[in-house]
Amino acid sequence: MKRNPGCNAGVAHVPISAESLSNSLPWRRVPGHLADLLLPQDCFVCGAPARAEALCPACRDELPAQGPSVCPCCALPSPSGALCGECQCSPPDFDATHALYRYAFPVDRMVQGLKYHRRLALARFFAGRLVDGYPPFEADLLLPMPLHARRLAERGFNQAVEIARPLARAWRLPLDVNGVRRVRDLPAQAGLSRAARTANLRKAFACRRDLAGMRVLVVDDVMTTGASLRELARVLKAHGAARVENLVVARTP
């Protein structure tokens, strides 16, 4: 893959809000000026009028973009954008990582707002920025990072799916939300070392489809240590995937 830089069973009912309506397909077809009138928003960061966007133009332009000098495999800082020593010594099962932002203010607050406060307009915003930042990927399948069924029922949605759906439409890529499941519901991984996360994640995913020869683009909100993406890529490769790349909104420095 080159960088040319469902309703889910068991999901808890979530009351329909203006934000969820604004992310549905019919609203996407409304001309921009009408959407501004019908669904005006305040900027998530500064509170200024943002029309139909989640952020005002000023705050959008100040987001912490990921610099060019990063490892092409794990997206951590690396001199001249060369493959970092860690990826040379211990290559992950995924082949590349593309991160739009650094996980820093206000992107960190935006991701948390999406995940824990159901600010679904932020998923549409992130997807739009990814489409603007990357021409279509040469992929055979778009795969959102799976969420365990219990967490999906508690939260009511999978933020990776909400980000991936507009990408699949924009890039005309098949989207698979059921072929891979998260079968182990793990406790919060924050604060654990990468080795501890990796050990916890063994056998966390189960793949139910043949991926022979396929190029898979995995979509997620944040890449921290990369342990979940490593384990998912391992499972995908074990089921025949020829290449696995990650596309994330933000990378923890």
Q: What is the mean pLDDT of residues 89-117?
A: 97
Could you tell me what percent of the chain has a pLDDT over 90?
Answer: 73
Q: Which long-range contacts (CB under 8 A, 24 or more apart) does 169-175 make?
A: 170/127, 170/131, 170/136, 171/131, 171/136, 171/137, 171/139, 171/142, 172/136, 173/136, 173/137, 173/139, 173/140, 173/141, 173/142, 173/217, 174/140, 174/141, 174/142, 175/141, 175/142, 175/143, 175/144
CATH code matching the domain that covers 64-251, chosen among 2.60.40, 3.90.950, 3.40.50, 3.30.470:
3.40.50
Residues of 167-194 as b/e, b for ≥16 C-beta within 10 angstroms? bbeebebebbbebbebeeeeeebeebee
Q: What is the pLDDT of residues 134-181, one digit of tens each?
A: 999 999 999 999 999 999 999 999 999 999 999 999 999 999 999 999
Domain ranges (residues) in the chain: 64-251
Host H or E run for residue 36: helix 32-38
Q: Output the pLDDT for position 221.
A: 98
Q: Is a pLDDT exceeding 90 seen at residue 59?
A: yes
Distance CA 209, CA 144 (A): 15
